[in-house]
Amino acid sequence: KKKKKKRNQFNMLTRVILSVLVAVLLFNAIEGKSRLLSQNKHVTSSAVGWNGHAKYAVDGNTGGTYFKDWCYHSQENASPKFFTIDLGRAYNINKVVIHNRVDCCVGRLNGATVYVHTATGEHQCGQIINQHKTNAVGCANQKSRYVTVRKAGTLTLCEVQVYGH
């Protein structure tokens, strides 16, 4: 009887481990399909300040030093402040990674919100509350052609990377 109970416990543990393994493999398969979609795509933005054109935020340079690596910078009195990437066609958006400025003004990224534009309207992926050098926001594989970052205050984006499939 004890051997049968141990065998049942072993079988249950084996099933749990296999279930977790399958879940991890499926997640990795979905993530594995994900690729960078935004580099050198067409962008639009609110008015530009400090010569920080929107194209700098999709040029592949994640350095973050403003006058060396260049970043998008909204004009202080522009309202609203926005930055939109046109991916050319709709993709399932997995995540958006935003690279922050590192030489000054890092807190400007706090409060930036990422949106995708689906067939049913605009949907919020997430908001950056406590900025870092690199900030990732998940978008739950929502199908979208356009990705927008918006903020009430000055918006500085050194690189915006949209990943999906």
pLDDT per position as a tens digit, 117-145: 988 899 999 999 999 999 999 999 999 99
Q: Are 93 and 64 in contact (CB under 8 A)?
A: no
28-45: pLDDT as tens digits: 545 558 999 999 999 988
In this predicted structure, what is the pLDDT of residue 90?
96
Mean pLDDT within 17-27:
57
Whether pTM exceeds 0.75: yes
In this predicted structure, what is the pLDDT of residue 46?
82
Q: Are 152 and 105 in contact (CB under 8 A)?
A: no
Q: Is the pLDDT of residue 27 over 80?
A: no
CA dist., res. 49 & res. 156, Å (int) = 10
In this predicted structure, what is the pLDDT of residue 124?
97
Mean pLDDT within 53-63:
93
List, in sequence order, every residue forming a beta bridge with 134; answer none if it has no partner.
99
CA dist., res. 165 & res. 159, Å (int) = 20
